Amino acid sequence: MRKRSPIAVTMFFLALFAIAFVVALQFGRKDDDMLRRTQVALGTLIEIQVRDMERKAAWSAIDAAFAEVRRVDTLFSTYAEDGPVWKLNHDRDTLIEVPDEVFALMLRCDSLTRASDGAFDIALEPLIREWGFKDQDPAVPSSEELTEALQHSGWAHVRLEQPNRVHKSADAMINFGAIAKGYAVDRAVSVLAREGVAEGLVNAGGEVRATGGDWSIGIQHPRSTSELAAVIDPQGRAVATSGDYEQYFEQDGKRFHHILDPATGLPARECMSVTVLADDDVTADALATAVFVMGPRKGMEFMQQNPDIEGLIIDESGDEHATPGFAQFRTR
Ligand code: ADP
Ligand code: MG
């Protein structure tokens, strides 16, 4: 047998070392494969996951994304005293200047209200207060109370003027609850990307966006917390679900939940759950709420007219209605 040259021997050991190193990395990667952390913000559980990234960098990206979620929470919270929404809702002035970022989201809300024929409306806070969903003792308002609150509710009481002025009637009040989580998810996802995350997921109480690779996202069954209604791989698209099972109370055997029909001031009746897929989570979140209000017939029509939107509606009887394109995302 021919004697190996010292160089060949070195190469052999180097190769062995390289293989061992790759294996170790593989093992290391298995441990590090997925990092996950949850925190409470925006009145819900926020979950952030990062896959396949060096631990230290991943944790610091997750930290930065959570900081962004908390910033968005403070900026758009209805209850943060002296925040911009507090000012909009407590100042009797009819002209109020808001931070540019708040104005930008209000402009987005304006076009979503128009697109949804008024089903999505961030100016329902007088009604939301009357129902008291956030209070200790929510109750069905009397018809006088409802009429009064309806009079002060609705986007017609608000007008936006560039660059950052909001004109509103004295009693009009804003609540970003149907879009703030989606906005926070979009912002957090862009922070993860800035921090070098290639595969990450942000979930704000059911509004979800995931980047890179395959992901499995379960959609909760609206009447059984231990069951999933469907599982999807969103393939880079944003997902949002609105349901009648997150915030509700029962009175005289009837369920009263927090998604209100702006036309009547009453909880929208025809759906249990609506999931929308869109390019960004601001759109998905707002339209999940809007389609919920529209109900299965009008909601399906609306989604089918819009080629960028796919969705799944579970109606009041528990029957499913999905857009034709939804099937390509569904894995179960
Ligand atoms: P979730 O918070 O469970 O994801 P939504 O995104 O549908 O549900 O938001 C519901 C919240 O938005 C309510 O708690 C209320 O503050 C507000 N809201 C209720 N009805 C409407 C509506 N028609 N348009 C916009 N916001 C609404
Ligand atoms: Mg919503």
Rounded distance between C-alpha atoms, residue 106 and residue 190, angstroms:
20
Expressed in percent and rounded to 5, the helix, strand and coil fractions of the chain are 40, 25, 35
Q: Which of 105, 104, 102, 119 is nearest to 155 (CA)?
A: 119
Superfamily assignment of 84-168 in CATH? ApbE-like superfamily (1.10.3980.10)
Whether 74 and 137 have beta carbons less than 8 Å apart is answered as no
DSSP annotation of 197: -
Strand, coil or helix: what is 295? helix
Chain centroid to Cα 304, Å, comes to: 21
Ligand nearest to the CA of 134: 1
> pTM value?
0.90
Strand, coil or helix: what is 313? strand
Whether 300 and 313 have beta carbons less than 8 Å apart is answered as yes
Q: Which of 63, 144, 163, 169 is nearest to 106 (CA)?
A: 163
Atom of ligand 1 nearest to the CA of 289: 7
Taking only the tens of pLDDT, the chain with its 332 residues reads 343 444 443 444 444 333 333 333 333 334 448 999 999 999 999 999 999 999 999 999 999 999 999 999 999 999 999 899 999 999 989 999 999 999 999 999 999 999 999 999 999 999 999 999 888 889 999 999 999 999 999 999 999 999 999 999 999 999 999 999 999 999 999 999 999 999 999 999 999 999 999 999 999 999 999 999 999 999 999 999 999 998 999 999 999 999 999 999 999 999 999 999 999 999 999 999 999 999 999 999 999 999 999 999 999 999 999 999 999 999 99
Nearest CA to ligand 1 atom 14: 258
Rounded distance between C-alpha atoms, residue 255 and residue 276, angstroms:
23
Ligand nearest to the CA of 207: 1
Nearest CA to ligand 1 atom 1: 242
Atom of ligand 1 nearest to the CA of 243: 3
Whether 164 and 103 have beta carbons less than 8 Å apart is answered as yes
Which tokens hold the place of 124?
């329902």
Measured from CB, residues less than 6 Å from any atom of ligand 1 are 120-122, 124, 128, 175, 177-178, 206, 242, 246-247, 258-260, 262, 285, 289, 293
